[in-house]
Structure 1
């Protein structure tokens, strides 16, 4: 029970990586406030979390709207009285080439991925500063570090922005005992990968030294480590979780 007594906010927690993170943190003792756009899926996660004997509440809403972040934080403080952990997982992707990418498509990805992450951090930090403790994990991507033909430039740019934001906040918040890190997943088995053609899946697998796609729990276990006391001397890092696809 690495997180006994801790309170965590997780955005984009209705499925995939976000769901795995929610369940992993709950299994290790954390109480949760989870967020996503689909309340029906969030309620399923609540049932699973409660099966571990932990409390789990919902704040539905679009993370690209700053009022959603404020509401999530306000509800968490009202219900639990504190916030120890923030995991910014909510995000979207597009696969539109540069010359076909409309301005509204660009803005949509930037608003959700980068702005949404900033809104959540800025809403949570005053409470973490007050208690002189906090762990923030931003879910980025290896696309932030190296271009990918199957992703729109808006996605890579948004994730690269998240990596810089992570470092900046880590530097600025260190004096308050707040650690800020990012994780950069590579190819992970999710609803999105289920849509791949057999040929494309084979191409992806051929580029992974460990010879398999990652699982959502591969990401969740890394997040668990970073938000636990085992990682109290780690901050400002962007950790790759990609089976060796990209190494730095």
Structure 2
């Protein structure tokens, strides 16, 4: 049984990049706590599959496809979401990509794509919901950063690290602006999580990463999802601008 403070019944939540992996786990937890979850992904098929799985459990979910890095697509999508549901109460900026390369391998194209999806995408979606949240004097935004954004990345994955560090800065700045309007803006900084993204790593790279985690294992998607759900619940009503580390002890601050 969920506590009253963590009951999200009646809330409208948008989770980007939620067709699979960590985003899907977050969408599942929010739907399980009573929210209607709008599942976003780049392709409608992936988003609809995730939404359908929630509905099969008796939960409330719908699907929408848009590219978070394209401000025009984002504007149209959120206009549609508000038309369908009246408002947005919760936004989880999760959409992202991986690219496990060393610093010399980062091309200008790789740099731009990484920052466009992670950092610009989070900015685009925050802008799309902010006016409505200010008007209703309520809103919860959680931006998914990474332990790399706090610590750096051992393999020199600087474009990913820069994007995730930028998300932390965006979170703090927006939190300062939005708090007087009753809007909580926070971030999550996961360590490496067992998803399709980590499957792209070589076995050697994965083993090296795990050796640096005091907990001795990768995170599970549902562990990150439950931490995210805490930040959008009334239990975190006095939390603003924080970046919650969920990383098995691999970085402590």
Which TM class, normalised by the smaller chain length?
over 0.9
Tell me what 1:182 maps to.
187
Q: Within 2, Cα distance between the matches of 1:85 and 1:16?
A: 19
Cα RMSD for the two superposed structures: 1.3
How far apart are residue 141 of structure 1 and its match? 0.3
Deviations, residues 201-243 of structure 1 (Å, cap 9, x unaligned): 3322221111211001011000111101110000100111100
Q: Is residue 111 of structure 2 the alignment partner of residue 128 of structure 1?
A: no
How far apart are residue 101 of structure 1 and its match? 1.8
Query: Is the Cα–Cα contact under 8 Å of residues 59 and 71 in structure 1 kept in the other structure?
Result: no
Q: Within 1, Cα distance between the matches of 2:239 and 2:145?
A: 17
Query: Is the Cα–Cα contact under 8 Å of residues 99 and 160 in structure 2 kept in the other structure?
Result: yes
Q: Within 2, Cα distance between the matches of 1:30 and 1:158?
A: 29
Which one of 217, 240, 244 corresponds to residue 239 of structure 1?
Answer: 244
More divergent stretch after superposition (17-26 vs 152-161): 152-161
How far apart are residue 151 of structure 1 and its match? 5.2
Which one of 108, 111, 118 corresponds to residue 113 of structure 1?
Answer: 118
Which one of 69, 75, 84 corresponds to residue 74 of structure 2?
Answer: 69
How far apart are residue 58 of structure 1 and its match? 1.8
Query: Is the Cα–Cα contact under 8 Å of residues 26 and 52 in structure 1 kept in the other structure?
Result: no
How far apart are residue 131 of structure 1 and its match? 0.1
Q: Within 2, Cα distance between the matches of 1:194 and 1:93?
A: 10
3-state SS in 1 of match to 2:160: helix
Q: Within 1, Cα distance between the matches of 2:27 and 2:147?
A: 22
Q: Is residue 8 of structure 2 the alignment partner of residue 3 of structure 1?
A: yes
Query: CA 1:152/1:199 → structure 2, altered by over 3 Å: closer, same or farther?
Result: closer
How far apart are residue 48 of structure 1 and its match? 1.3
3-state SS in 1 of match to 2:65: coil
Tell me what 1:149 maps to.
154
TM-score by length of 1: 0.96
Q: Flag as ranges the 4+ runs of structure 1 deviating above 6 A.
A: none
TM-score by length of 2: 0.94
Unpaired segments ≥5 residues, structure 1: none
Aligned pair count? 248
Tell me what 1:33 maps to.
38
Q: Within 2, Cα distance between the matches of 1:198 and 1:168?
A: 38
How far apart are residue 56 of structure 1 and its match? 1.8
Q: Within 1, Cα distance between the matches of 2:102 and 2:210?
A: 23
Q: Is residue 41 of structure 2 the alignment partner of residue 23 of structure 1?
A: no
Which one of 229, 239, 251 corresponds to residue 224 of structure 1?
Answer: 229
Q: Within 2, Cα distance between the matches of 1:247 and 1:28?
A: 29
Tell me what 2:94 maps to.
89
3-state SS in 2 of match to 1:181: strand
